[in-house]
Amino acid sequence: MKLIIHGGFFSESDQSHEIKVAKQESLKNIAQKAFEYLQSHSAFDTVAYAVSLLEDDELYNAGIGSQIQSDGVIRMSAAIMNGETQKLSGVINIQNVKNPIFVAKDLINEDDRVLGGNGAKIYANENGFENFSTEIPQRRKEYEAKLQNGGKGTVGCVAIDKDGRLAVATSTGGKGFEIPGRISDSATVAGNYANSFCAVSCTGVGEDIVSNATATKIVTRVTDGMSLENAFTKTFEELKTIDGFAGAIAIDKNGNIYHQDSYPTMVYASFDGENFEVFN
């Protein structure tokens, strides 16, 4: 049993040392809570739980603390994928729910498993998800001042459970000030993908991740026999050709954990019950 989580990117230019330390402590705490949850739950249930904890922490651009789009509205996206069944479900540009990842998880048993916009919100309302504003004062100040964070904020979790099952979940509040209707990578297989061989969650600039098909490439290469490290190396070399901005976390079927980013610094933490690894 192992897991790794990420909380987007940390930029020395626009965040303080105090924020960096806060994210390190937060990620370590969430990784530990999620690992404890993994003891008695499947990887699929655990990745949703871990991402919900990240959504509930305003340090990250997902759920509470999501970025505001150019028209002053918050729209969030999230997806989850079960490596065992190879089913993905997700929501795109959903508004006014506390935990988009739980709405995405709820959709896994539906025939129509990826919903967008108003349809996603109607489904949430009909399935007991209460109306909830995820806006915080800091995001409103950033919006009003037209400050951008570069579109590098997403959260995710990859886990392998005691039965060797893999799962992945990813959630984002968008890049901030984007055109309404813009689709991120987080609810697509480019940014969130798993099968029985490997699971990958991405963060960064969604357009770059989609153009590179980052998560899908890594998982496919591992499935075809490439090592996890080599799959990352080749995929990120291809990302360089478009000067892509991305980071990714992964676990393969043998429990190997790997992460990489194209620019500093993706914030992440992994835990296997004994050893923590936290970004620095």
Residue labelled with tokens 């490997």: 198
Q: Token pair of 145, please?
A: 């001042």
d(CA 256, CA 2): 9
- CA 149 vs. chain centroid, Å, equals 17
Task: List, in order, residues 6 or more apart from 66 with CB less than 8 Å away.
Answer: 74, 76, 134, 135, 139, 172, 173, 174
DSSP string covering 99-165: -HHHHHHHGGGSSS-EEEHHHHHHHHHHTTPPP-----HHHHHHHHTT----S---EEEEEE-TT--
Q: Which of 46, 154, 203, 235 is flagged as catalytic?
A: 154
Contact 192/186 with Cβ under 8 angstroms? yes
Task: List, in order, residues 6 or more apart from 29 with CB less than 8 Å away.
Answer: none
d(CA 35, CA 273): 7
Collapse the DSSP code of 56 into the 3-class scheme (helix H, G, I; strand E, B; otherwise coil) and give the result.
coil
Collapse the DSSP code of 166 into the 3-class scheme (helix H, G, I; strand E, B; otherwise coil) and give the result.
strand
Torsion sign over Cα 216, 9, 67, 56: positive
d(CA 4, CA 77): 20
- 203 in catalytic set: no
Which residues are tagged catalytic? Answer: 154
